[in-house]
Amino acid sequence: MIRTTSVPVILVAALLTGPLPVLAGDDAHDLGLVTWMGRLQYYAHKLGLAVDAGNKPLVAYYIHEVEEVIEMIEDIDDADGVPVGKLVKEILVPAFESLETAFDTGDATRLDADYNRLLGACNQCHEKANRPYLIVERRHDNPYMQRFTPSRAPVSPAPAPE
């Protein structure tokens, strides 16, 4: 049984070790570049795991999430003297659009290659932003409490007892 005095300690520890949630009412444009890049990394990693698993519905879902984050980052004109939106439009968007096309064609080999190109575009952008120490690499390990393999056909529920 958890003691009452332990609850605040657990809550503080959880806040310090996990990503902070965006509270309702926060202006999405005021979250800052680091927050948006963290979201991009989060969704892009999950996209890669879905690509690895060949889970088309999940790939579609994460493509959509990545696109939404890219659109938010495009709106950042300047961050520490770096024209972030311009770089994203020039480097990241074309790589992302190619990935979308690969998904739409159903070519799994091209999708895999375009996912790698998307990550390469992230690194190109970091180079142009004079942040070469920010290196994105593809990871195949799953740190999430989520299964990425496609689910089997849904099982019909058992009839209700009469």
Can you give the pLDDT of all 162 residues of the chain as single tens digits? 555 555 554 444 444 444 444 433 345 555 789 999 999 999 999 999 999 999 999 999 999 999 999 999 999 999 999 999 999 999 999 999 999 999 999 999 999 999 999 999 999 999 999 999 999 999 999 999 999 999 875 545 566 666
What is the per-residue pLDDT for 152?
72
* CATH code of domain 29-128: 1.20.120
Q: What's the pLDDT at 22?
A: 42
Looking at residue 31, its pLDDT comes to 73
Q: Write down the pTM of the prediction.
A: 0.76
Q: What is the pLDDT of residue 151?
A: 83
What pLDDT sits at residue 14? 45
Q: How many CB atoms lie within 10 A of CB 129?
A: 19
In this predicted structure, what is the pLDDT of residue 18?
A: 45
Per-residue pLDDT at 73: 96
Domain ranges of the chain: 29-128
Contact 115, 138 (CB under 8 A): yes
